[in-house]
Amino acid sequence: MSLLFVAEGAGDDLRLQSASARAFDCKAGPNDYPAQREMHRCEGLAWLSRFLSPGFPCMVIDLSKRASWERSIAKIVHRHIPGKVLEAVHKIPAARMHYDTMLYLDASLQAAGETPASWLLPKMQTALSRNFSALRAYHACKPVSLASYYEQGIVPLTRNWLVEEAFSLFGGTIPLPEIESLVAKADLSIRKGLVWFATNPNELTNIAGHYLIMGPECMNCLWDGDKQRFGESQRRQRQRGIPTLFECAVPLAEIGCDYKRELTKLLVTEYLKGLSETPETEEWAIEFGFSLRRALRPEHIVGHTHPAVIYDSHNHGVDYHNQTTRCQWCR
């Protein structure tokens, strides 16, 4: 199954492409990624106190760290799925457990005469929201300045922002009315009003590096059929801005129900795979792409880095070497 994630935010976007969420080599593991190690210097409950309200559970789901979610998910699974069903699930090879369909669980529930997974999932989703406060996620972009991120947060794409960005990118060489007309006609249907995130930072540096190298992909939507302008736009984007990877603690309360349902299915399945009598032969990094329909407030930005080496899929896979690895907003 082919997955495509597209990320857009004012001043930034990310687009993740992979043959599948698991079809890439992450044997090195997310924790071996230098940029992430750097960001994790803030790890611990201290930084959580900056955005959590008193009384909220201090639990952040980090998909690269099984220990961050396994215990709570185990309790949820054993509370909601009957023991005889779990015994049947143990016999299913982990490689045959697909979280998107949950057919493996449905078949086991049906065989035991139990209610289908679609009845159990809302209850487990509610339990997930009670047990966890946020999801660790990453946003890739290439802003000229990080000021707006720490003042307004990571905000959804708007046509007005794209007008300003395109006019600025071309240094005023394209008249503003022409830019406005191009933006008004652009198909932004999978981008406008959204902010996209990935949970595996390696996706953004080792696979879909063009968000860090060129910035907002929505800029490509303006030059329909005009190859010269398209090429010029990409050349200018390469020369402009600072490749930036934001690490965020995205509150579960801000994530839409559909994505939370998918996250619940993913975590339940990953837990059950761990119990399988036939485990997977290779360990894969988990990736979960999702979007918000609102701004992520600045207090939910945990940190940022400027990766030095980025995979350049638009340049025959030759690494892009970023010369700006510090900025005035670096701690």
Footprint on this chain of Zn ion (rule: CB under 5 A):
327, 329-330
- Comparison of 26 and 141: residue with beta carbon closer to Zn ion: 141
Q: How far lies 91's CA from each of 71, 106, 131, 268, 275, in Å?
A: 21, 14, 28, 16, 9
- Comparison of 103 and 330: residue with beta carbon closer to Zn ion: 330
- Comparison of 227 and 326: residue with beta carbon closer to Zn ion: 326
At closest approach, how far in Å is the CB of 143 from Zn ion?
10
Amino acid, res. 1: M
3-state secondary structure the chain: CCEEEEEEECCEEEEEEECCCCCCCCCCCHHHCHHHHHHHHHCCHHHHCCCCCCCCCCCEECCCCHHHCHHHHHHHHHHHCCHHHHHHHHCCCHHHCCCCCCHHHHHHHHHCCCCCHHHHHHHHHHHHHHHCCEEEEEEEECCCCCHHHHHHCECCECHHHHHHHHHHHCCCCCCHHHHHHHHHHCCCCCCECCEEEECCHHHHHHHCCHHHHHCCHHHHHHCCCCHHHHHHHHHHHHHCCCCEEEEEEEEHHHCCHHHHHHHHHHHHHHHHHHHCCCCCCCCCCCCCCEEECCCECHHHEEEEECCCEECCHHHCCCCEECCCCCCCCCC
At closest approach, how far in Å is the CB of 309 from Zn ion?
16
- Comparison of 47 and 230: residue with beta carbon closer to Zn ion: 47
- Comparison of 23 and 330: residue with beta carbon closer to Zn ion: 330
- What does R_g of the chain's alpha carbons equal in angstroms? 21
- Comparison of 147 and 330: residue with beta carbon closer to Zn ion: 330
How many angstroms from the chain centroid is the CA of residue 251? 13
At closest approach, how far in Å is the CB of 328 from Zn ion?
7
At closest approach, how far in Å is the CB of 325 from Zn ion?
8
- Comparison of 16 and 242: residue with beta carbon closer to Zn ion: 242
- Comparison of 170 and 329: residue with beta carbon closer to Zn ion: 329
